[in-house]
Amino acid sequence: MSTITVGAPVPDQELLVTGGRSHRLSDFHGKILVLYFYPKASTPGCTQEGRDFSSAINRFRRQSAVVLGASRDSLKAQENFKTKQGFPFDLVADPEETLCNLFAVIKLKNMYGRQVRGIERSTFLIDTNGVLQAEWRGVKVKGHVEQVLEAVKRLKKAA
C-alpha cells in the first residue's frame, strides 16, 4: 500500500542519483518534479520511455519541471544506461527499494509463467510544495510522456 496519496505531501527521502550525487526529494521544492519508475535499465520499454522523456525535456524545462527516472538498478547500471542513451536528466538508483516502497510501485508480475516481484511502470507528479498532484500506474509507454506534459502544463497554469 502506498504511503502517499494524491493531495498529500510526499515524505522527504534521500536519493542516490547518477553522477554519484545524493539529493533529497525536498531539494526539488520550488520546481515541479516528474518522477517516473521503470522496471529495468537498458530494456526495450524502459529505453523507449527514457527516450520519450528525453525528446520532451525542453518542453518540461519550460514549465520549470525536473524529470527523474528511478528503478531498482545499481548506480553503475543507471550510469551506464544514462550514458549510453544520452539522457539529459538524472536516474535514481534504488537497489534497497526504499523509494519504490514509498511510492508502492513493487508488484507481483508474471514472467515466463512464474510470479516475480518487479516495478510497475508508474509516474508521479509532485508540485512545487512537495505535494503529490497526480499519479499514473500500470503505464503504457506510447503517448505517456504527452499525458504527463499536459498535466504539468495544467499544474503550472493553476499555480
Q: Which of 35, 26, 66 is nearest to 134 (CA)?
A: 35
| The three cell numbers locating residue 54 | 528525453
Helix crossing, 144-158 with 44-55: angle to 10°? 40
Say which of 46, 92, 100, 119 is annotated catalytic: 46
Please name every residue paired with 106 in a beta bridge, in sequence order, or none if there are none. Answer: 119
The answer to whether 100 is a known catalytic residue is: no
Angstrom distance (rounded) from CA 67 to CA 141 = 16
Helix (H) or strand (E) holding 92: strand 91-93
Q: Are 37 and 100 in contact (CB under 8 A)?
A: yes
Kindly list the catalytic residues: 46
